[in-house]
Amino acid sequence: MAAADREFAPVRCVSVVRETHDVKTFTWCFEDGRRFEHAAGQHVTFEVPFDDGPQFRCYTVSSVPGADRASFSITARQAPEGPVSTWLHRRATPGAVLRAAGPSGTFIAPSGREPVLLIAGGVGITPLIAMARHWRATLPDVGPDAVFVQCVRTPGDVLFHDELIGFTRDWPGFRVHEVISRAPGSGRLTAAMLARLAPDVVQRDVYCCGPEPFMREVKALLLSMGLAPDKYHEESFTLPLPAERPPAASDATFRVRYARAAREGPCAADATLLDAAKGAGLVIPSACRAGVCGTCCVRLLAGTVDMSDAGGIDEDEIAAGYVLACCSRPTSDVELDV
């Protein structure tokens, strides 16, 4: 990901489509007219203003890469206790302006034609429908052998039913199944059900997205069936909290200089750069706080840190001096380009 893609810029909502009772698709374009280039499965980070300060959330791009580089779409469920999704559903009407950065993310469609199994839990379907749309648009006659399994609670929660069924009509290798946990004759996804839907499951690369408990259950099922761990790929649309770390080896406190803000502040050895910046009255955009999404990427101008990322930054960015503030702890005095 280019460092420039991490810069936030104004985006304008150009259309809103209701998909289900609690899911909408929002289409946006950058106000400065820039082209939007992404890979199927990547996400965008939105900055939403609130009275007590901005909040940042990541949403997968659900539109087809390259179809319309002037705009991009996200598909979001209104979470009952989610302030950002509630803001989008209530206030993101055509003409509304927010700030966004991206695209980013490494959970992307494979480039080959190896057989795949796509398993979606709820609105976790978004990166997977993006992959299917990408293959349908770029490989109309020879798309990969793909089994698409959508798991939802009720029939009213099913997303993109007509579109997915349409793919099966002229894409010989595409099969779609809906698993509805609260419907008679369906129930929750089981190993026996997976074996029936994809008898050759252990030969497939599996891409899974959904709530954390759902993905844990699916992964356990697949591994129990003999799937090799390196053939399982996942990304959650509700990003996990960071794992607890052992106590820092040092109880030292270091100084952090914020170059652009011309400000300094302390940071304990067991505290993150993100928390230190907040304590200094500065906002570094962040969403997952687990080293996954990459929203909090900042340049380290001087000093050293211990960074425990989970894939939210690539080797080129690290070589260029970037770190993720949410999972980086100082091991010396540091200076940030903030």
- pLDDT in the model for residue 67: 64
- pLDDT in the model for residue 236: 62
- pLDDT in the model for residue 282: 93
- pLDDT in the model for residue 248: 55
Mean pLDDT, all residues of the chain: 90
Q: What is the pLDDT of residues 200-251, one digit of tens each?
A: 999 999 999 999 899 999 999 999 999 999 999 998 644 444 445 555 556 7
Where do the H-state alpha helices sit in the chain?
Answer: 83-91, 126-138, 161-170, 191-197, 212-224, 273-279, 315-319
Q: Which residue do the tokens 């380009």 mark?
A: 337
Q: Residue 4 pLDDT > 90, yes or no?
A: no
Q: Quick one: pLDDT band at residue 293, thresholds 50, 70, 90?
A: confident
Q: Which residue do the tokens 């349409």 mark?
A: 166
Q: What is the pLDDT of residues 90-113, one digit of tens each?
A: 999 999 999 999 898 889 999 878
Residue 330: cis peptide before it, omega within 30 degrees of 0: no
- pLDDT in the model for residue 107: 92
| Percentage of the chain exceeding pLDDT 90 | 73
Q: What is the pLDDT of residues 154-197, one digit of tens each?
A: 999 999 999 999 999 989 899 999 999 877 666 689 999 999 99
**Domains of the chain with bracketed CATH:** 3-104 (2.40.30.10), 116-235 (3.40.50.80), 253-336 (3.10.20.30)
> How much is the CA Rg of the chain, to the nearest whole Å?
21
- pLDDT in the model for residue 242: 47
Contacts of 261 (CB under 8 A, 6+ apart): 280, 282, 338
Q: Quick one: pLDDT band at residue 147, thresholds 50, 70, 90?
A: very high
What does pTM read for this prediction?
0.83
Q: Residue 124 pLDDT > 90, yes or no?
A: yes
- pLDDT in the model for residue 17: 98
Contacts of 336 (CB under 8 A, 6+ apart): 256, 257, 258, 259, 273, 277, 298, 299, 300, 301, 325
